[in-house]
């Protein structure tokens, strides 16, 4: 059967119908268009927000900074922890610094009491760190670790006095 004598049926796909337009190349072209459009839109949105930020007067920035409440912080110091996980036969070595951001309504007297409770707070941090799974340490924002620490410390204080846990200089290795 030669190409010129081939009969096409318009309602069928395959060798007797019209060529299939839903091939992998057609889908790839469609996704390429979507990705390019989304990329152009995000670039334009970022450019527009950068222009709006550049138009803000320095006097407006100073006013907004002075009206923001200052959050008291408690420095819990540097942690160097080595933890053996016998079930998975892994030794975890963690190094990090930890800061607690308190709610803005906290008075100076309460912050001083927390400084005196530093050993109890550090003990809760060590317990929460040891109970956290190994795969949680590879998260970019350490969300699970910070949440576990926050819950344990607020439970110790018997009220939600700590608003956020800040982790700095974090390093994590396994052996």
Q: Domain check: are 64 and 77 in the same one?
A: no
Domain ends where: 20, 40, 68? 68
Domain ends where: 27, 48, 68? 68
The pLDDT score that the predictor gives to residue 73 is 87
Domain limits for position 35: 1-68
Q: What is the CATH number of the domain that holds 87?
A: 3.30.479
Give CA–CA dist 34/151, Å, rounded. Answer: 42
CA neighbor of 167 nearest in space, from 125, 118, 104: 125
The pLDDT score that the predictor gives to residue 107 is 86
Q: Domain check: are 53 and 96 in the same one?
A: no
Q: Domain check: are 4 and 81 in the same one?
A: no
Domain ends where: 27, 52, 68? 68
DSSP string, 71-87: PPEEEEEEEEEEEEETT
Q: Domain check: are 56 and 96 in the same one?
A: no
Q: Domain check: are 61 and 81 in the same one?
A: no
The pLDDT score that the predictor gives to residue 97 is 95
The pLDDT score that the predictor gives to residue 23 is 54
Q: Domain check: are 80 and 94 in the same one?
A: yes
Q: Domain check: are 63 and 124 in the same one?
A: no
Q: Domain check: are 30 and 80 in the same one?
A: no
Weakly modelled stretches of the chain, pLDDT under 50: 24, 26-27
The pLDDT score that the predictor gives to residue 78 is 95
Q: Domain check: are 81 and 53 in the same one?
A: no
CA neighbor of 125 nearest in space, from 144, 102, 98: 98
The pLDDT score that the predictor gives to residue 70 is 75
Please tell me the total count of domains within the chain. Answer: 2
Q: Domain check: are 110 and 53 in the same one?
A: no
Q: Domain check: are 99 and 159 in the same one?
A: yes
Task: Give Cα separations from 10 to 17, 20, 155, 170 (angstroms).
Answer: 6, 11, 71, 64
Helices then strands, each counted (H, E), the chain: 5, 3
Judge whether 125 and 147 are in contact, CB under 8 Å. no
Judge whether 173 and 91 are in contact, CB under 8 Å. no
Q: Domain check: are 57 and 83 in the same one?
A: no
For tokens 């950068």, name the residue. 50
């Amino acid at each position: 059967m030669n190409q010129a004598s081939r009969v096409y049926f318009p309602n069928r796909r395959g060798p007797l119908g019209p060529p299939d337009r839903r091939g992998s190349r057609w889908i790839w072209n469609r996704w390429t268009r979507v990705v390019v459009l989304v990329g152009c839109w995000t670039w334009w949105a970022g450019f527009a927000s950068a222009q709006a930020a550049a138009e803000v007067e320095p006097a407006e920035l100073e006013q907004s900074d002075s009206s923001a409440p200052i959050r008291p912080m408690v420095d819990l110091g540097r942690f160097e922890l080595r933890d053996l996980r016998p079930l998975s036969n892994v030794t975890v070595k963690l190094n990090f610094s930890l800061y607690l951001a308190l709610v803005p309504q906290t008075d100076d007297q309460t912050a001083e009491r927390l400084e005196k409770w530093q050993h109890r707070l550090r003990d809760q941090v060590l317990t929460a760190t040891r109970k956290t799974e190994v795969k949680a340490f590879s998260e970019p924002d350490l969300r699970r670790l910070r949440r576990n620490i926050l819950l344990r410390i607020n439970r110790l204080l018997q009220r939600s006095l700590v608003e956020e846990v800040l982790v700095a200089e974090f390093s994590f290795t396994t052996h």
